[in-house]
C-alpha cells in the first residue's frame, strides 16, 4: 500500500536535461528524495494537524464552552464542531499519511484539511482578522511539500469558499452584507500573490533537488568507480598474495628438496671463498674428508694446506680466474686421517656479498675410478698382446692351410710328372738307336731288305707322335706347378696385407 | 479494468474521500447555519420609554444593549459595541443591561458597575430576570436599542453579523447613520446570541 503508483506519487514538473544513460538512476534518486521530502512534511503536518485540532478544542473550551438560554446551558455547537469537524479534518490525512505516505492524494487531503482548519479556527475565534493569517501560514507550510499542485488545491478551496460565501452570505467572509465581486478578486489576489511566490519557490526547490540528485549520482558513480577499482585492486592483491604464498610454499618445498638433495647427494657440494673460508659443505663432502656431519664450517680453511696442497689450490683458482666455469678439475685431497683421495671438481666462479671472489661447485671421489682405470689399462695391454699372438697364430694357420692346399696340388702334379717320365716312350728310341748301331754296316740292306729294317721308318714316325704328346703334357704340368707357386706367393702377400690392416703386423712377418 | 492499484482499494479510497469531503462540507454547513441563525427579537413595549428615560441624559442619544453574561456571543457584541462607541466619538451614551436570574447560583457572575468599551465607561445595570430587557423587546443577548436625543427609538437589533462573529454589520451602520444625524438605512437587524431566558419570554420567542 505504501508503494504508490509513480504517476500519482511523482510530482515531477521540472526535470532538467538529463543524460539519457543516467536518467533512470537520477530519476530514481529524485523520486527517493521527493518521497523523503513528502515523508518529512507528512510528519510535520501529522503533528500540526493534531495540534490544530487540540488548539481548536482548547479555543472552543475557553471561548465558547456552552451556549445559554437564561440559566440553562448546553454544550456549545462550536465545541462540538471543534471536536467533530476537527476530527473529521484530521482523520483522512492521518490515515493516508499512514497508508499512502507518498501518494499525491495524501498531500491534497492535507491541503484541504489545513485550509479547513483555517476556516474552523476563524469560526471559533469569532472571525478575528488575526486568525485569517492562519490561511497564509498554512499555504507556507503546504509549500514545504515542494509540490505546486498542493498549493493550487488549497488555493482553489479558499477561492471557491470565498466565492460561495460572497454569493450567499458575504458578511461571513467580507463583513459587509453586500460584497461586490471585486472583493472576492481582491481576497483571491492576495492568496494568489502568496501562492505564486510559493509555487515559484517550489519550482526552484525542485530544480535544486534535481541538481542535488544529479550531483549525488555523479558522486555515486565516482564512489562506485572507486569501489570497483578498490575491489579489483583488492582481488589483484589477493591473487598476488595467494601467488606469493604459493611461491613461498614452493620455495620452502624447493629449499627442503634442495637441502634433502644436497644432503643425500653422493657427491660433494661446496661453496668456498678465495681466501679459503668454507661457506657450504654437504654431509657427503664432510664424510669424504673424514669430518663429522655437524662440523663447524667456520673452523675449516682450505688455505691452510691440510686438505689441498697450496699449489693445487692456486692452480684451481687460476683456472677459475681464466674462465667462469671449471669442469673436470682433478686433484688430490688429504683426509683427516691422512689418506690421499683423488677428486674431480666442477665449479663456478661467483661473488660474495662483500665483493670478494667465491666459488661453488661439486666434487666427486674418483680414487676408485682411477684405480679401476689403471687396472683396465693393464688388462687392455694384456689383451692386446694376447690378441696379437692369437692373430699371428691365426695368420700362420691360414697361410699354412692355404699353402698346404696348394702344395697338395703341387705334389699331385709332381707325381703326375714323375709317372709320365717313368712311362715315357723315350726307351723305344733307345731300342731303335741300338738296332741302328748294330746294323750300321749293312744299314742300307737292312732298311731295304730286312723286314725289321723296313718297319723302322714307320716306327720312328709313331714314336715322334707319342713323344710330342708326352712333351705337351709335361709342359702343361710344369705350367700348373708354376701357377701353384704363384698362388703360394699370393697367399703370403695377402696375409701380410691383412695383418698390417688389423695392426697385427709383426716384425716376424718381415 | 486495469487499475494502478487494486480496484477495491481504489474504490474504497474514492469512497472515503467523497465521504470525507461530504462530512467537511456538512460540518461547515451546519456550523454556518448555526452561526447565521438569529435569535428572537420583539418590539419594545410602550413602557420602554419610561425605562429608557430613566437612564438617558437629557438631549443625548442612548444606546442600550442587553447581554447575557455567560453567552459566548456577548464578547463579540460588546466588542462591536465598543468599536461603535469609539467610532461615534462620544455622540451617544450607552448602558448595558446584564441579565441576572432571579435565583442565581453562587457562581453566577455579578458583574462590575461599569465596563470600559471603546474608551467609554459604560454603566452596567443588573437586569433581574431580564425584565427590563423584555420591556425593550430584547430576548436575545446582544440586542441593542438606540434612542435618539428626542427619546424616540430609532433602531432595534444586533450589532454582529453572526453568532459570535465580529465584523461590520448593518446594525452598526444604521446606528452610526442615526448618530451622524442621518436616516438609518434599516431600523432593525437580526440579533445573534443566546436567549436571555424564559423569564423574559425567550422561550416564547423561540
Measured CA to CA, the distance from residue B109 to residue B69 in angstroms comes to: 7
Q: What is the mean pLDDT of chain B?
A: 85
Distance from CA of A169 to the nearest CA of B (A): 9
Nearest to B66 by CA among B135, B148, B138, B116: B138
pLDDT, residue A180, reads 61
A399-437 pLDDT tens trace: 888 888 888 888 888 998 898 888 888 888 888 888 888
Measured CA to CA, the distance from residue A107 to residue A110 in angstroms comes to: 5
Chain B residues close to A7, C-beta within 8 Å: 4
Query: If phi over 0 gives left and psi between -120 and 50 gives alpha, with beta otherwise, what is residue B5?
Result: beta
- The pLDDT-based confidence of A146 (bands split at 50, 70, 90) is very high
Residue A78: pLDDT over 70: yes
pLDDT, residue A159, reads 84
Measured CA to CA, the distance from residue A498 to residue A132 in angstroms comes to: 148
Test A70 with B166 for CB contact under 8 angstroms: no
Nearest to A88 by CA among B120, B89, B25, B170: B25
Question: Are residues A177 and B170 in contact, defined by beta-carbon separation less than 8 angstroms?
Answer: yes
Q: Which residues, at least 6 apart from A345, have a Cβ–Cβ distance to it below 8 Å?
A: A316, A326, A328, A329, A330, A331, A361, A362, A363, A364
Measured CA to CA, the distance from residue B77 to residue B158 in angstroms comes to: 8
Residue A439: pLDDT over 90: no
pLDDT, residue A72, reads 85
Question: Are residues A320 and A359 in contact, defined by beta-carbon separation less than 8 angstroms?
Answer: yes
Test A81 with B16 for CB contact under 8 angstroms: no
pLDDT, residue A444, reads 85
Chain B residues close to A127, C-beta within 8 Å: 76, 162, 165-167
Distance from CA of B43 to the nearest CA of A (A): 20
Distance from CA of A92 to the nearest CA of B (A): 7
φ, ψ of residue B167 in degrees (nearest 5): 145, 160
Distance from CA of A123 to the nearest CA of B (A): 7
Widest pairwise Cα distance in chain A: 241
CA atoms in the 13 A half-sphere facing the CB of A36: 9
Chain A residues close to B164, C-beta within 8 Å: 63-64, 78, 126
Distance from CA of A230 to the nearest CA of B (A): 43
Question: Are residues B4 and A7 in contact, defined by beta-carbon separation less than 8 angstroms?
Answer: yes
A284-324 pLDDT tens trace: 999 989 999 888 888 888 888 889 999 999 999 999 888 88
Residue A488: pLDDT over 80: yes
- The pLDDT-based confidence of B203 (bands split at 50, 70, 90) is very low
Residue A505: pLDDT over 90: no
The helix (run of H) or strand (run of E) holding residue A328 is strand A325-334
Distance from CA of A70 to the nearest CA of B (A): 3
Q: Which three cell numbers stand for residue B190?
A: 437580526
Asked if B76 has any chain A CB less than 8 Å from its own CB, the reply is: yes
A345-361 pLDDT tens trace: 999 998 888 888 899 99
Q: Are strands B153-157 and B188-189 parallel, antiparallel or unpaired?
A: parallel
Most confident of A46-60, A186-200, A321-335, B130-144: A46-60
pLDDT, residue B202, reads 37
Q: What is the mean pLDDT of chain A?
A: 86
Interface of A with B (CB under 8 A): 1, 4-5, 7-8, 63-73, 76-78, 81, 84-85, 88-89, 91-92, 95, 105, 109, 112, 116, 119-120, 123, 126-128, 169, 171-172, 175-177
Residue B95: pLDDT over 90: yes
State which residue of chain B sits closest to A126, comparing Cα positions: B165
Most confident of A56-60, A406-410, A438-442, A463-467: A56-60
φ, ψ of residue A153 in degrees (nearest 5): -60, -50
A153-191 pLDDT tens trace: 999 998 888 778 777 777 666 666 665 667 777 877 888
A1, A70, A165, A168: best to mutate for the B interface, most B CBs within 10 A: A70
* Minimum mean pLDDT range among A104-113, A162-171, A235-244, B158-167: A162-171
pLDDT, residue A58, reads 96
Task: Round the CA-based radius of gyration of chain A to a whole number and report it.
Answer: 72
Question: CB-CB: which of A66, A73, A171 is closest to B162?
Answer: A171
Question: CB-CB: which of B27, B73, B195 is closest to A81?
Answer: B27
Nearest to B71 by CA among B96, B94, B98: B98
Question: CB-CB: which of A63, A85, A127 is closest to B72?
Answer: A63
* Minimum mean pLDDT range among A228-232, A361-365, B167-171: B167-171
Measured CA to CA, the distance from residue A454 to residue A447 in angstroms comes to: 5
Residue A502: pLDDT over 70: no
State which residue of chain A sits closest to B205, comparing Cα positions: A69
Measured CA to CA, the distance from residue A184 to residue A110 in angstroms comes to: 24
Distance from CA of A220 to the nearest CA of B (A): 32
A28-77 pLDDT tens trace: 999 999 999 999 999 999 999 999 999 999 999 998 899 888 888 899 99
The helix (run of H) or strand (run of E) holding residue A384 is helix A367-422
How crowded is residue A316: how many other Cβ atoms within 10 Å of its Cβ? 20
- In angstroms, what CA-CA distances link B64 with A243, A260, B74, B132, B191? 108, 130, 14, 11, 14
Question: Are residues B72 and A67 in contact, defined by beta-carbon separation less than 8 angstroms?
Answer: yes
Chain A neighbours among B 39-58 (CB < 8 Å)? none
A1, A7, A68: best to mutate for the B interface, most B CBs within 10 A: A68
Chain A neighbours among B 89-128 (CB < 8 Å)? 99, 101, 103-105, 108
Helix, strand, coil percentages (3-state) for chain B, rounded to 5, are 35, 20, 40
Asked if B15 has any chain A CB less than 8 Å from its own CB, the reply is: no
Chain B residues close to A164, C-beta within 8 Å: none
Q: Which residues, at least 6 apart from B191, have a Cβ–Cβ distance to it below 8 Å?
A: B38, B39, B40, B41, B138, B140, B141, B142, B143, B157, B158
Q: Which residues, at least 6 apart from A463, have a Cβ–Cβ distance to it below 8 Å?
A: A425, A428, A429, A432
Measured CA to CA, the distance from residue A426 to residue A419 in angstroms comes to: 13
pLDDT, residue B49, reads 83
Distance from CA of A42 to the nearest CA of B (A): 18
State which residue of chain A sits closest to B36, comparing Cα positions: A172
State which residue of chain A sits closest to B14, comparing Cα positions: A105
Measured CA to CA, the distance from residue B160 to residue B73 in angstroms comes to: 9
Widest pairwise Cα distance in chain B: 84
Give the pLDDT mean for B144-167.
89
State which residue of chain A sits closest to B9, comparing Cα positions: A1
Measured CA to CA, the distance from residue B98 to residue A351 in angstroms comes to: 127
3-state secondary structure of A275: coil
In chain B, % of residues over pLDDT 90: 35
Measured CA to CA, the distance from residue B13 to residue A4 in angstroms comes to: 13
pLDDT, residue B44, reads 84
A71, A90, A100, A156: best to mutate for the B interface, most B CBs within 10 A: A71
Helix, strand, coil percentages (3-state) for chain A, rounded to 5, are 75, 10, 15
A89-129 pLDDT tens trace: 999 999 999 999 999 999 999 999 999 999 899 888 877 77
State which residue of chain B sits closest to A115, comparing Cα positions: B24
Asked if B169 has any chain A CB less than 8 Å from its own CB, the reply is: yes
Give the pLDDT mean for A256-268.
86
Amino acid at each position: 500500500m505504501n508503494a504508490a503508483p509513480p504517476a500519482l506519487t511523482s510530482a515531477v514538473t521540472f526535470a532538467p536535461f538529463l543524460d539519457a544513460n543516467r536518467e533512470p538512476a537520477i530519476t530514481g534518486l529524485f523520486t527517493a528524495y521527493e518521497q523523503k521530502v513528502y515523508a518529512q512534511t507528512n510528519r510535520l503536518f501529522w503533528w500540526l494537524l493534531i495540534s490544530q485540532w487540540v488548539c481548536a478544542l482548547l479555543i472552543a473550551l475557553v471561548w465558547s464552552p456552552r451556549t445559554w438560554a437564561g440559566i440553562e446551558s448546553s454544550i456549545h455547537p462550536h465545541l462540538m464542531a471543534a471536536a467533530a469537524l476537527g476530527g473529521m479534518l484530521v482523520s483522512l490525512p492521518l490515515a493516508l499519511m499512514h497508508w499512502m505516505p507518498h501518494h499525491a492524494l495524501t498531500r491534497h487531503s492535507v491541503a484541504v484539511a489545513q485550509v479547513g482548519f483555517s476556516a474552523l479556527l476563524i469560526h471559533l475565534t469569532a472571525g478575528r482578522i488575526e486568525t485569517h493569517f492562519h490561511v497564509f501560514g498554512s499555504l507556507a507550510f503546504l509549500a514545504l511539500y515542494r509540490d505546486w499542485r498542493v498549493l493550487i488545491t488549497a488555493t482553489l478551496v479558499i477561492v471557491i469558499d470565498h466565492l460561495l460565501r460572497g454569493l450567499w452570505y458575504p458578511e461571513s467572509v467580507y463583513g459587509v452584507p453586500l460584497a461586490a465581486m471585486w472583493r472576492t478578486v481582491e481576497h483571491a489576489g492576495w492568496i494568489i500573490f502568496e501562492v505564486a511566490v510559493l509555487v515559484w519557490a517550489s519550482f526552484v526547490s525542485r530544480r535544486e533537488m534535481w541538481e542535488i540528485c544529479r550531483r549525488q549520482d555523479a558522486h555515486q558513480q565516482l564512489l562506485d568507480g572507486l569501489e570497483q577499482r578498490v575491489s579489483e585492486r583488492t582481488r589483484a592483491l589477493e591473487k598476488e598474495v595467494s601467488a606469493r604464498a604459493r611461491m613461498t610454499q614452493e620455495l620452502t618445498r624447493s629449499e627442503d628438496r634442495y637441502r634433502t638433495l644436497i644432503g643425500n647427494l653422493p657427491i660433494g657440494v661446496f661453496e668456498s671463498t678465495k681466501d679459503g673460508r668454507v661457506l657450504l659443505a654437504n654431509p657427503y663432502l664432510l664424510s669424504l674428508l673424514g669430518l663429522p656431519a655437524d662440523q663447524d664450517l667456520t673452523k675449516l680453511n682450505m688455505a691452510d694446506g691440510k686438505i689441498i696442497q697450496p699449489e693445487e689450490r692456486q692452480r684451481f683458482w687460476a683456472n677459475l680466474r681464466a674462465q667462469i666455469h671449471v669442469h673436470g678439475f682433478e686433484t688430490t685431497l688429504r683426509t683427516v686421517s691422512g689418506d690421499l683421495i683423488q677428486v674431480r671438481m666442477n665449479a663456478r666462479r661467483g661473488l660474495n656479498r662483500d665483493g670478494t671472489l667465491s666459488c661453488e661447485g661439486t666434487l666427486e671421489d674418483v680414487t676408485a675410478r682411477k684405480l679401476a682405470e689403471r687396472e683396465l689399462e693393464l688388462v687392455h695391454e694384456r689383451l692386446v698382446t694376447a690378441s696379437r699372438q692369437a692373430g699371428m697364430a691365426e695368420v700362420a694357420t691360414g697361410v699354412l692351410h692355404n699353402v698346404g692346399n696348394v702344395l697338395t696340388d703341387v705334389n699331385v702334379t709332381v707325381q703326375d710328372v714323375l709317372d709320365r717320365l717313368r712311362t715315357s716312350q723315350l726307351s723305344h728310341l733307345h731300342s731303335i738307336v741300338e738296332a741302328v748301331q748294330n746294323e750300321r754296316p749293312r744299314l742300307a740292306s737292312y732298311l731295304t731288305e730286312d723286314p725289321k729294317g723296313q718297319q723302322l721308318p714307320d716306327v720312328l714316325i709313331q714314336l715322334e707322335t707319342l713323344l710330342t704328346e708326352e712333351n705337351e703334357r709335361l709342359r702343361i704340368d710344369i705350367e700348373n706347378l708354376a701357377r701353384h707357386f704363384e698362388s703360394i706367393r699370393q697367399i703370403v702377400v695377402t696375409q701380410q696385407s691383412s695383418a698390417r690392416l688389423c695392426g697385427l703386423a709383426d716384425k716376424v712377418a718381415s | 479494468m486495469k487499475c494502478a492499484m487494486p480496484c477495491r482499494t481504489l474504490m474504497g479510497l474514492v469512497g472515503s474521500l467523497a465521504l470525507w469531503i461530504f462530512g467537511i462540507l456538512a460540518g461547515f454547513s451546519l456550523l454556518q447555519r448555526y452561526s447565521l441563525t438569529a435569535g428572537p427579537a420583539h418590539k419594545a413595549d410602550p413602557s420602554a420609554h419610561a425605562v429608557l428615560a430613566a437612564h438617558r441624559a437629557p438631549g443625548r442619544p442612548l444606546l442600550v444593549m442587553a447581554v447575557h453574561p455567560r453567552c459566548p456571543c456577548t464578547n463579540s457584541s460588546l466588542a462591536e459595541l465598543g468599536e461603535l462607541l469609539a467610532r461615534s466619538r462620544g455622540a451617544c451614551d450607552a448602558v448595558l443591561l446584564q441579565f441576572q436570574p432571579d435565583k442565581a447560583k453562587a457562581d453566577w457572575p455579578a458583574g462590575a458597575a461599569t465596563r470600559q468599551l471603546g474608551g467609554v465607561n459604560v454603566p452596567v445595570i443588573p437586569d433581574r430576570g431580564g425584565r427590563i430587557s423584555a420591556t425593550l423587546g430584547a430576548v436575545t443577548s446582544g440586542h441593542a436599542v438606540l434612542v435618539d436625543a428626542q427619546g424616540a427609538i430609532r433602531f432595534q437589533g444586533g450589532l454582529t453579523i453572526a453568532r459570535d462573529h465580529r465584523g461590520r454589520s448593518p446594525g452598526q451602520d444604521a446606528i452610526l447613520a442615526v448618530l451622524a444625524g442621518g436616516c438609518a438605512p434599516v431600523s432593525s437587524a437580526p440579533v445573534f446570541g443566546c436567549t436571555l431566558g424564559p423569564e423574559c419570554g425567550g422561550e416564547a420567542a423561540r
